[in-house]
Structure 1
Amino acid sequence: MPFTDDGQVRRTPLLEDGAASGVIDRLLAARDRWTRRGPGFFTLGAAVYLDVARGGDYARYRTHFGRSNPVIRHHFARLTERVRDRLGLLIGEPCAFGEGLALPGFHIFLQEGLQSALRDNLHLDLQHTRLPMGFRAETPSLTFTVPLEMPHAGGGLETCEIVAGNPRGRLVPHDYRIGELFVHSGRALHRRLHRPVTAECRRITLQGHAIRADRGWQIYW
């Protein structure tokens, strides 16, 4: 499999109209279980890119998901099961939640975490190579997002598209739609799409990845 690709995305409806607000209500009720990751930036759940790749290790990640997986399983099992089923239909192969891995979790950006000064760096999603499970950079993988609430001006992802004669490429915006399952490989340079925000804005998403292992596609975060 190529190390990088052209950034193709796939979308499919996941939640009925209004269902995202119910998920947010449950998420806000579990605020005491959130982990502060930076100014105005929280997660509910463990993430390899935060708990392993940024100076951590698998032991810290395992300890974190040992606390957060039961919370996510108790409050959001219907949502994560729906993601698993829909992702399997989208890629045409069955998916399972990875053993010894974190369940899909939530990004919560409040207004302070949405300032343009905090614009993400362009990156590839290769954090699976930091797990002690023998995954390689070229192991087939996917990244998915379920947008639950976006700033008033919208939000999404931007990918860097290769352009002949332009070594910097071109940034292409992909706007999220609330309640959809948005899937890409993570192997094109990408980052959060920034839009103007007000004091009332929040950006809340369910996040996760899938990796093809010997036992089939494994879902984790």
Structure 2
Amino acid sequence: MPTSTIRPEFQLQLFSQAASADIVQRLLDLDAFWLPRHPYLPFYTLGATNYYDITGNPAKPYLRLAQQYNPFLRENFGEVYAALLSSLRERLGQPVGFLPEAALPGFHIFGGHADFTAGNQHDILHGAWFQRRDGHGFPGNPIHVDTAHLALGLPAAVAGAPLPTLSFTLALSLPQEGAGMKIWPLRMADIGDLDGQEQMQLLQRCASRLVAYQAGGLFVHSGDCYHQARGLPVQDGQYRITLQGHGAWLDGQWRLFW
């Protein structure tokens, strides 16, 4: 088990701004294939994702969508996946591949909309967000820890220790005001026994930090600290586009998925 990478956190520059802009333009040209994730807000994914296509979705179309989109993503963005794998292998010094039959890391696409304007009323926990995410109002911006490996049926622990995990965001297009990730120094083990109101009160009192994104930059973290996406676009014509994914240490290598 990779003791040095159980809680990784680092940033890498994978692409130049020009290369990122080229990837973004190709994504925009493929808008007919985006999967809408909200009734009226401009929020989409390109690719299957566990938290929309398994968790809270009784139809569970995850495997079907993964089989449909994975070849499409490889064909159109093969160089993105190659750069992701090679950079992670070099930085971690360990084998990195994709989890068989799972969805490839895919793209989050937010278009500009006034309802995305940041406000304290939008800060909610993941459980509350799941209850309102498909409604007609803005469901809020969830504060959460990543449990995607559990949604896919991967083990919570191996040999009595928590399964090592990682999560990553490759920023490609950012709104003019910037974007990043807000992170708290708290894990589920720290506040998981509290009710939702108590959890929010503790998070509000606890100091947090903001990791700023740069176009073409990859941010990798363990996923087990509470965190929240920041910097959704509010102006027409602006986008927040990222490649998203998770990883788990299985059978002597990091296996990536979404």
Q: Give the TM-score taking structure 2 as reference length.
A: 0.76
Match of 1:34 in 2: 34
1:122 aligns with 2:139: no
Distance 1:17 1:202, change over 3 A: closer
Match of 2:207 in 1: 170
Segments of 5+ residues of structure 1 without an aligned counterpart are 2-6
Write the distance in 2 (CA, Å) between the matches of 1:20 and 1:216: 28
1:19 aligns with 2:19: yes
AA of the residue aligned to 1:18? A
The secondary structure found in structure 2 opposite 1:211 is strand
Match of 1:44 in 2: 46
CA contact (8 A) 1:13 1:179 kept: yes
User: Which of residues 141, 146, 155 in structure 2 aligns to 1:135?
Assistant: 155
CA contact (8 A) 1:159 1:173 kept: yes
CA contact (8 A) 2:48 2:62 kept: yes
AA of the residue aligned to 1:68? Y
Q: Point out the more displaced range, 198-207 or 114-123.
A: 114-123
CA contact (8 A) 2:184 2:226 kept: yes
CA contact (8 A) 1:36 1:43 kept: yes
The secondary structure found in structure 2 opposite 1:178 is coil
Q: How does 1:1-221 map to 2 (within 5 A)?
A: 9-38=9-38, 39-56=41-58, 60-112=61-113, 114-116=116-118, 117=122, 118=138, 119-132=140-153, 134-136=154-156, 138-161=162-185, 167=202, 168-194=205-231, 197-221=234-258
What is the CA-CA distance between 1:72 and the residue it aligns to? 0.4
- Identical aligned residues as a percent: 32
Segments of 5+ residues of structure 2 without an aligned counterpart are 2-6, 123-137, 187-200
The secondary structure found in structure 1 opposite 2:82 is helix
Distance 1:195 1:170, change over 3 A: farther
The CA RMSD over aligned residues, in Å, is: 2.1
The secondary structure found in structure 1 opposite 2:17 is coil
CA contact (8 A) 2:171 2:214 kept: yes
The secondary structure found in structure 1 opposite 2:207 is strand
CA deviation map 1:172-206 (0-9, x unaligned): 11110110111011110001113673223210011
Distance 1:88 1:114, change over 3 A: farther
AA of the residue aligned to 2:56? R
Number of residue pairs aligned between Structure 1 and Structure 2: 211
AA of the residue aligned to 1:204? I
AA of the residue aligned to 2:255? Q
Write the distance in 1 (CA, Å) between the matches of 2:58 and 2:230: 27
Match of 2:130 in 1: none
AA of the residue aligned to 1:41? F
Write the distance in 1 (CA, Å) between the matches of 2:64 and 2:23: 25
Distance 1:77 1:8, change over 3 A: closer
The secondary structure found in structure 2 opposite 1:18 is helix
AA of the residue aligned to 2:219? F
What is the CA-CA distance between 1:215 and the residue it aligns to? 4.9
CA contact (8 A) 1:153 1:195 kept: no
Q: Give the TM-score taking structure 1 as reference length.
A: 0.88
AA of the residue aligned to 1:182? F
What is the CA-CA distance between 1:56 and the residue it aligns to? 4.1
The secondary structure found in structure 2 opposite 1:32 is helix
CA deviation map 1:80-108 (0-9, x unaligned): 11101111222220101110111111000
Greater C-alpha Rg: 2
